[in-house]
């Protein structure tokens, strides 16, 4: 039975780790909906009063007679988002951008809508209080626990004092962690969160900052608005949520009439891959630093040699093909005509035999040497007339 030295074993382990673990890409979830239709219901889960319309998703009811006291959700259901890795403790970063419309009655406003992360799959809580934006069935003073936990960015259109909303205006943006008592809020003028809106939400796993920017488009009367609002807060998503989560939207109306429509949605997350198996690393550590260093160098040289050999093979084959093409060209070019004209019209170099070169340079005589180049010595030579007049 063939045995392997310690350095050979180490080199093999390093090569295995390189080939099977180094190229591993980050684990991610990404999708992009520029518009919506009922054909998207396999990937977009709707709950409660949510429904598909032509070009958008109604998060709450859009039918007169059922718009008041409406709750609904729409979430991406094709696969969960891996928010954090239990083995490594790494947390994902993500970015989402969406366009939406909130349309309310000037004399009576609904509750608003929210973007949320919650346990997978999404589940609309039963008997949600109207001020909870279909996020939780907990009372105002309670904090959701277990599978009911959530993190949300709320676009709130009504100031509910029971959950400590800002009292001096209807509209505000809030960041919520398992409770409708926001950890951070940004007040806005009343009826600012109406009409065409675009939001961009980002989470950075290094700083643990959750940030949201809202751009205001045309209002409900078609008047353009060129302004935006920003809110950010530090959020520990690993402690706030389970490993796998749903991402989506929720909305509620209370006893008022208000439409909440999602028109487009893009999302992308990224989570770094796990390190190589501990068993492989343990095996390397037992071999000692000297062996590891030597094997690493050997493995690196092996990889370089493999790469170089591959490149050389490709170049050699290309070169051989070119030579064959040259030979065919010169063979086809032999025939009647002025010998000097034939030489001048050749489009590439011609191969000469070693015997022809020896004869032309007088056995590479020193007095025929013209100089030294990067690829070797350069000699002057004279070809025999028999070659120049070949074919006559």
Q: What's the CATH code of the domain at 261? A: 2.60.120.200
Closest CA to 169 of 185, 152, 182: 185
* Residue 113 confidence (pLDDT): 95
Q: Are residues 320 and 331 in the same domain?
A: yes
Q: Looking at the domain assignment, is residue 120 inside a domain?
A: yes
Which alpha helices (DSSP H) does the chain contain, by range? 6-20, 237-240, 278-285, 289-333, 339-344, 354-360, 385-388
Verify that 264 and 322 share a domain, yes or no: no
> Is 344 part of a structural domain of the chain?
no
Cα 287 from Cα 11, distance rounded (Å): 11
pLDDT per position in the chain (392 positions), as tens?
Answer: 445 455 555 544 544 444 444 444 567 899 999 999 999 999 999 999 999 999 999 999 886 556 667 899 999 999 999 999 999 999 999 999 999 999 877 666 677 899 999 999 999 988 777 668 889 888 777 788 999 999 999 998 876 666 556 667 778 899 999 998 899 999 999 889 999 999 999 999 999 999 999 999 988 788 899 899 999 999 999 999 999 999 999 998 877 778 999 999 999 999 976 665 555 555 545 655 554 445 445 555 555 555 555 545 545 555 555 554 554 444 444 444 444 433 344 444 556 666 677 677 776 777 777 766 545 677 677 766 544 444 44
For residue 282, give Cα distances in angstroms to 16, 22, 341. Answer: 14, 17, 73
291 and 184 within one domain:
no
Please tell me whether residues 176 and 84 are part of one structural domain: yes
How many domains does the chain contain in total?
Answer: 3
Helix (H) or strand (E) holding 267: strand 258-271
Half-sphere exposure of 156 (CA within 13 A, CB side): 33
Sequence-ordered alpha helix ranges (H) in 137-249: 237-240
Residues 210 and 160 in one domain: yes
Half-sphere exposure of 376 (CA within 13 A, CB side): 2
- Is there a single domain that holds both residue 229 and residue 118? yes
pLDDT of residue 390: 45
Residue 235 maps to a domain: yes
Establish if 218 belongs to a structural domain: yes
Task: Answer for the pair 345, 338: CB distance below 8 angstroms, yes or no.
Answer: no
Domain with 381 in it = 352-392
CB atoms < 10 A from the CB of 323, how many?
A: 13
- 343 located within any domain: no
Q: Which residues fall within 8 angstroms of residue 81, CB to CB, at 6 or more apart?
A: 29, 92, 94, 117, 120, 244, 245, 246, 247, 269
Whether residue 107 sits in one domain with residue 159? yes
d(CA 25, CA 274): 10
């Amino acid at each position: 039975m063939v045995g392997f030295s310690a350095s050979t074993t180490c080199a093999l382990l390093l090569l295995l780790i390189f080939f099977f673990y180094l190229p591993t890409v980050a684990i991610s979830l990404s999708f992009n909906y520029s518009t919506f239709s009922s054909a998207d219901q396999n990937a977009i889960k709707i709950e409660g009063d949510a429904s598909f319309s032509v070009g958008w998703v109604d998060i709450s009811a859009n039918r007169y007679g059922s718009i008041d006291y409406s709750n609904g959700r729409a979430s991406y259901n094709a696969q969960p988002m891996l928010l954090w890795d239990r083995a490594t403790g790494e947390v994902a970063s993500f970015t989402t951008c969406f366009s939406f419309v909130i349309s309310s009655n000037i004399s009576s406003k609904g509750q608003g809508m929210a973007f949320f992360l919650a346990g997978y799959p999404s589940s609309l809580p039963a008997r949600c209080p109207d001020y909870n934006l279909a996020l939780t069935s907990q009372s105002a003073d309670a904090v959701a626990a277990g599978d009911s936990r959530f993190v949300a960015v709320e676009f709130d259109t009504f100031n509910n004092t029971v959950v400590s909303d800002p009292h001096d205006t209807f509209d505000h943006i809030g960041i919520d962690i398992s409770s409708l008592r926001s950890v951070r809020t940004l007040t806005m003028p009343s009826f600012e969160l109406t009409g065409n809106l675009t939001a961009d939400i980002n989470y950075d796993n290094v700083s643990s900052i959750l940030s949201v920017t809202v751009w205001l488009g045309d209002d409900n009367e078609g008047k353009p608005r060129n302004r935006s609002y920003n809110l950010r807060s530090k959020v520990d998503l690993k402690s706030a949520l389970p490993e796998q989560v749903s991402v989506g939207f929720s909305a509620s109306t209370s006893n008022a009439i208000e439409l909440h429509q999602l028109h487009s949605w893009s999302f992308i997350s990224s989570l770094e891959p796990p390190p190589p198996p501990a068993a492989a690393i343990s095996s390397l550590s037992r071999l000692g630093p000297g062996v590891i260093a030597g094997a690493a160098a050997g493995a690196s040289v092996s990889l370089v040699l493999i790469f170089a050999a591959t490149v050389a093979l490709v170049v050699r084959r290309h070169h051989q093909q070119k030579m064959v093409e040259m030979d065919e060209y010169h063979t086809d070019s032999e025939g009647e005509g002025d010998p000097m004209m034939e030489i001048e019209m050749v489009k590439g170099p011609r191969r000469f035999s070693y015997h022809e070169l020896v004869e032309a340079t007088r056995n590479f005589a020193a007095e025929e040497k013209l100089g030294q180049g990067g690829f070797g010595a350069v000699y002057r030579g004279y070809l025999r007339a028999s070659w120049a007049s070949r074919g006559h």
